[in-house]
Amino acid sequence: MCNSLINKYNVAGPRYTSYPTVPYWDDTSFSLKKWKESLLLSFDESNTVEGISLYIHLPFCESLCTFCGCNKRITKRHEVEEPYINAVLKEWSLYCEILPGRPKIKELHIGGGTPTFFSSENLERLIKGILRKANLADDYEFSFEGHPNNTTREHLQTLYNLGFSRVSFGVQDYNETVQKAIHRIQPFENVKRATLAAREIGYTSIGHDIIFGLPFQTEAQVAKTIELTKELMPDRIAFYSYAHVPWLKGNGQRGYDESNLPSGDSKRAQYELGKELLSQAGYNEVGMDHFALKTDSLHEAMLVNKLHRNFMGYTDSKTQAMIGLGVSSISDSWYGFSQNVKGIEEYYHLIEQNIIPVYRGHILSTEDLIVRQHILNLMCHFETNWSDPALYVDELKDIVIKLKEMEIDGLVNFENEGIKITQKGQPFVRNVCMAFDVLLQRKQPETRLFSMTV
C-alpha cells in the first residue's frame, strides 16, 4: 500500500460502532425519562417483528491485560460473582417492568471483562434468570467471549445446553515477547484445548480475535500467529487494529510506550500480510477487521446484504433495539443511546433504589438518524446513496468535496448519487465515514479522543 496514503489518512478517528460517537453525545438534553420513551417507541415498533438484542457486561478479570481499553475490575475474589448477578437480574426486571409486553430475545451476548471468570453454575443462574422473563425468537443466537486460559469444558457445555451456539476466544498474538508486554500469557495449547472442546460440544461458530500493531510485534510474528490459527480453522476471525488510547481513565496501556509500537507503515504492512494469509487460508473479508469462512453466518449475511453493526460489533442478527445490562453497558433504541454508570458500587446503589442505572446518553435528531444510516451502510456494505430525499443532509456539498479528494486517491467511486468504496479504499473505511460525520467536522476535538485509523 502506498506510504503517502498511509501518511495522509493515518489520523485519529472513531471506529463507528455508533453514530453519533460517544464523545459527541448531547448529555445536556438527555434524561432517563427520554431514554425510556425512545426505548418504548422502538420496542413497540420492533419486538413482535424481530425481537431485541441483549448485551450483558461481566467486568471482572483476575489479571490486567495492558492492551485493553474496556471497563473492568481486577480481582481474584470470586465471591463478587453472586451479588453482581443479582444486580444484573434486578436491572433486567426493571426494564421488563416498563416494557409493554414480554421481550422476545433474538440475540444475546455476554462480554467483559472476562465472562468465564464466573463459574458455570453462576452463568447458568444468570441466563435462566434472564430467560424467565422473556420469549425467544425462532432464529435466536446466543454468544459469549471466552478467555482460553480459564474457559473450561463445563463452561462450554453449560452454556451450550442453554442455547449458546457461538463463542469467541481472545488470542491477540502467540509471541512470548508480545504476550509479556501486554500481560496476556496464553499458550497455543490453551486456545487449542478450548477451541476443540467447543467444536466437539457442537458450537456452530467459533471465533478468534487477533490484534496487529501491538508493542514489539513484527510481520513475522503476525504470520506465525495466523499460521497457528490455521491449524484450528475457527469459523470467523476478528483481525483488529490495536487501539492505543492510554489517556482513558482506568486504561492499562502503560506497560510500554509509543516507541515500542510499530510505525504506521509497519502496522499497515502487518494488516496487509495478515489479510493476504487469511485469504489464502479460505477466509473472506467481512466489513471492517472481520474475516469469515464461506460457511459462517457472518459471511452469508454479507452476501445477502443483511450484515449489521452495533456496539457488539458485526452481527448477522439485526434488531432495532438493544438493551445493555451491567456496569458501563451501552443500550441502543435506534432513536437514542444510553450508558450505565461505570462504577460497580454506584451501579449496586442505583439498582437497590429501583433505578435503571443510566448516567448519560443521547437522543438522535433527524440529522443524526440520516448520517447514522449512511455510516452504517458504509461500515457494513462499503457503499451508500443519497438519491432518496430522506437520506439528504444539509452539509452534503461539503461531504462531497471531501469524497472527491478520496476519489482522486482511488478510495471511492461515485455511482448514481452515491459512492462505493473501492478495494483499495476498504482499509480506509473509517476515514470515508469521517467525511459524513458532520458533528466531527463542525467541532474537531481539542484533545485526542480516538485511536489512529491506520
**What confidence tens digit (pLDDT) does each residue in 375-434 have?**
999 999 999 999 988 888 888 889 999 999 999 999 999 998 899 999 999 989 999 999
Non-local (6+) Cβ contacts of 67 within 8 A are 172, 182, 184, 211, 214, 242, 252, 253
Kindly indicate the confidence band of residue 268, based on its pLDDT and cuts at 50, 70 and 90. confident
Q: Give percent above pLDDT 90 in the chain.
A: 73
Q: C-alpha grid cell for residue 211? A: 490484534
Do 118 and 355 contact (CB within 8 A), yes or no? no
CA distance 393 to 373: 11
Q: What does the mean pLDDT of the chain come to?
A: 91
Non-local (6+) Cβ contacts of 428 within 8 A are 5, 9, 406, 411, 421, 453, 454
> How much is the pLDDT for 204?
96
> How much is the pLDDT for 247?
47
Scan for cell 446484504, then name that residue: 305
> How much is the pLDDT for 350?
98
Average pLDDT of the residues in 213-240: 96
Rg (CA), the chain: 21
Angstrom CA distances, 423 to 16, 293, 308, 413, stand at 20, 19, 20, 10
**255 or 108, higher pLDDT:** 108
Residue 251 pLDDT > 60? no
pLDDT in tens, 41-91: 999 999 999 999 999 999 988 787 777 767 788 888 999 999 999 999 999
Please give the backbone phi and psi of residue 140, each rounded to the nearest 5 degrees, phi first.
-65, 155
Closest CA to 130 of 45, 58, 49: 58
Do 255 and 181 contact (CB within 8 A), yes or no? yes
Kindly indicate the confidence band of residue 243, based on its pLDDT and cuts at 50, 70 and 90. confident
> How much is the pLDDT for 344?
96
Closest CA to 377 of 454, 319, 432, 451: 432
> How much is the pLDDT for 255?
60
**8 or 80, higher pLDDT:** 80
Q: Give percent above pLDDT 70 in the chain.
A: 94
Do 66 and 252 contact (CB within 8 A), yes or no? yes
* Residue 334, Ramachandran bin (φ over 0: left; ψ between -120 and 50: alpha; else beta): left
pLDDT in tens, 313-359: 888 888 999 999 999 999 999 999 999 999 999 999 999 999 999 99
Angstrom CA distances, 374 to 133, 299, 340, 437, stand at 35, 21, 27, 10
Closest CA to 53 of 162, 136, 123, 118: 136
Angstrom CA distances, 242 to 43, 186, 277, 453, stand at 35, 18, 19, 10
**448 or 106, higher pLDDT:** 106
CA distance 416 to 414: 7
Non-local (6+) Cβ contacts of 321 within 8 A are 39, 42, 43, 46, 47, 52, 53, 332, 333, 334
**What interhelical angle do 396-408 and 429-436 show, nearest 10?**
160
pTM score, whole prediction = 0.92
Q: C-alpha grid cell for residue 20? A: 453519533
